[in-house]
A and B are shown apart, each in its own frame.
Chain A
Amino acid sequence: MVNLKIDDKKVVVPEGTTILEAARQAGIDIPTLCFLKDINEVGDCRMCIVEVEGRKGFATSCIQTVEEGMVVHTHTQNVLEARHVILDLIISNHAKDCLTCTRSGNCELQDLAIKFNVLDNEFTGEKSVHKIDDKSPSIVRDFNKCILCRRCVATCKNVQKIGAIDCINRGFDSCISTTYDHSLNDVDCTFCGQCIESCPTGALHEKENINDVWAKLKDPDTYVVVQTAPSIRVALGEEFGMKIGTNVTGKMISALKSLGFDKVFDTNTGADFTIMEEATELVKRLRNNDNLPMTTSCCPAWVKYTEMFYPENIPHLSSCKSPHQMLGAIIKSYFAEKNHIDPSKIYVVSVMPCIAKKYERQREEMKVNGLYDVDAVITTRELARMIKQANIDFSMLEDDVFDNPMGEATGAGAIFGTTGGVMEAALRAAYELMTGEELKKVEFEQVRGEKGIKKATVQIGDKEVSVAVAHGLGNAKKIMEEIKSGKADFQFAEIMACPGGCIMGGGQPIKNSKIRASVDVRSKRAEAMYSIDERSTIRKSQDNPVLKAIYKEYIGQPGQHRAHELLHTHYEKKEKYNF
Chain B
Amino acid sequence: MKTLEEINKIRAEKRKELDLRKNTTADTREKHILVCQGTGCTSSKSPEILENFKRIIKEKNIQNVRVIKTGCFGLCAKGPIVIIRPEDTFYAMVKPEDCEEIIESHIRNGKVVDRLLCKDIDGTKVQKLDDLTFYKKQKRIALKNCGVINPEDIDEYIAFDGYRALQRVLLEMDSDEVIDIITKSGLRGRGGAGFPTGKKWRSTADSKGDVKYVVCNADEGDPGAFMDRSILEGDPHAVLEAMEIAGFAIGAQKGFIYVRAEYPIAVQRLKIAIEQARNYGILGKNIFGTDFSFDIEIRLGAGAFVCGEETALLESIEGKRGQPRVKPPYPAQVGLWGKPTLINNVETYANIAQIILKGPEWYSSIGTENSKGTKVFALGGNVNNVGLVEVPMGTTLREIVYDIGGGIPNGRDFKAAQTGGPSGGCIPKEHLDTPIDYESLKQIGSMMGSGGLIVMDDTKCMVCLAKFYLQFTVSESCGKCTPCRIGTKRMLEILERLCSGEGEEYDIYRLEKLAVNIQKSSICGLGQSAPNPVISTLKYFRDEFRQHAIEKECKAMECKALAKIQIDEEKCKACGLCQKNCPVGAIEGEGREKRVINQDKCIKCGSCIKTCPFHAIG
Contact = CB atoms under 8 A, between A and B. Distances in A.
Interface of A: 42-46, 49, 57-58, 60, 63-64, 78, 81-82, 85-86, 89-90, 92-93, 122-126, 147-148, 166-167, 169-174
Given A64-B326, A64-B328, A86 B521 contact: yes
B326 A171 contact: no
A170 B304 contact: yes
B26 interface: no
B490 A148 contact: no
Contacts of B510: 122-123
Interface in B505-546: 510, 513-514, 517, 520-523, 528
A125 B489 CA distance: 8
Contact of A125 (B475, B477, B485, B493): B493
Given A57-B521, A85-B514, 20 more contacts: A42-B480, A43-B481, A44-B523, A45-B481, A46-B481, A46-B521, A82-B517, A85-B517, A86-B517, A89-B490, A92-B490, A123-B490, A125-B489, A126-B489, A148-B485, A170-B477, A171-B484, A171-B488, A173-B479, A174-B480
B520 A89 contact: no
Contacts of B490: 89, 92, 123-125
A167 B483 contact: no
A57 B528 contact: yes
A457 to B, nearest CB: 37
B321 interface: yes
Closest 5 CB pairs of A and B: A174-B479, A171-B477, A89-B486, A85-B517, A125-B493
B258 to A, nearest CB: 18
10 contacts: A46-B521, A57-B520, A58-B520, A89-B487, A90-B486, A148-B479, A171-B485, A171-B488, A171-B489, A172-B485
B24 interface: no
Contacts of A42: 326, 480
The residue in B476, B480, B487, B523 that gathers the most chain A C-beta atoms within 10 A of its C-beta is: B480
A210 to B, nearest CB: 34
Contacts of B321: 166-167
Nearest to B486: A89
A82 B523 CA distance: 13
Nearest to B522: A46
A170 B326 contact: no
Contacts of B488: 171
A175 to B, nearest CB: 9
B478 interface: yes
Given A125-B493, A126-B493, A172-B489, A90 B479 contact: no
B513 A85 contact: yes
A122 B514 CA distance: 10
Contacts of B475: 170-171
B438 to A, nearest CB: 15
Nearest to A87: B482
Contacts of B479: 148, 167, 169-174
A46 B482 contact: yes
A339 to B, nearest CB: 59
A202 to B, nearest CB: 18
Contacts of B517: 81-82, 85-86
B260 to A, nearest CB: 16
Contacts of A92: 486, 490
B474 interface: yes
B487 A85 contact: yes
B257 to A, nearest CB: 24
A85 B474 contact: no
Contact of B326 (A60, A85, A169, A173): A60
A46 B523 contact: yes
Nearest to B491: A123
A340 B48 CA distance: 94
Q: Name which of B483, B487, B521 has the most chain A CB atoms within 10 A of its CB.
A: B521
Nearest to A147: B482
Interface residues of B, number: 31
A174 B485 contact: yes
Contacts of A126: 489, 493
Contacts of B521: 46, 49, 57-58, 82, 85-86
Interface string B296-331: 000000001000000000000000010000101000
Contacts of A46: 481-483, 521-523
A304 to B, nearest CB: 27
Contacts of B489: 125-126, 171-172
A78 B490 CA distance: 20
Given A45-B481, A170-B477, A82 B486 contact: no
Contact of A45 (B328, B482, B493, B528): B482
A76 to B, nearest CB: 11
Contacts of B478: 170-171, 174
Nearest to A173: B479
A57 B522 CA distance: 9
A170 B481 contact: no
B481 A44 contact: yes
A148 B484 CA distance: 13
A43 B479 CA distance: 13
B485 A86 contact: no
Contacts of A166: 321
Contacts of B326: 42-43, 60, 63-64
B240 to A, nearest CB: 32
A46 B328 CA distance: 15
B514 to A, nearest CB: 7
Residue in B478, B486, B517 with the greatest tally of chain A CB atoms within 10 Å: B486
A562 B490 CA distance: 66
Contacts of A86: 482-483, 517, 521
B394 to A, nearest CB: 26
A85 B484 CA distance: 12
A44 B484 CA distance: 10
Contacts of B514: 85, 123
A78 B517 CA distance: 9
A170 to B, nearest CB: 5
B45 to A, nearest CB: 35
Nearest to A175: B479
Interface in B382-418: none
Contact of A85 (B304, B476, B483): B483
Contacts of A172: 474, 477, 479, 485-486, 489
B520 A171 contact: no
Nearest to B477: A171
A90 B517 CA distance: 14
A125 to B, nearest CB: 4
Contacts of A90: 482, 486
A126 B477 CA distance: 16
A480 to B, nearest CB: 24
A131 to B, nearest CB: 19
B503 to A, nearest CB: 13
A158 to B, nearest CB: 13
B581 to A, nearest CB: 39
A170 B476 CA distance: 7
Contacts of A148: 479, 482, 485
A452 B514 CA distance: 45
B523 A43 contact: yes
A167 B478 CA distance: 10
A307 B485 CA distance: 39
B506 to A, nearest CB: 10
A63 B311 CA distance: 16
A432 B513 CA distance: 73
A44 B521 CA distance: 10
B314 to A, nearest CB: 15
Contacts of A58: 520-521
Contacts of A170: 304, 475-479
B474 A171 contact: yes
B316 to A, nearest CB: 13
Nearest to A55: B328
Contacts of B480: 42, 44, 174
Contacts of B481: 43-46
B520 A93 contact: no
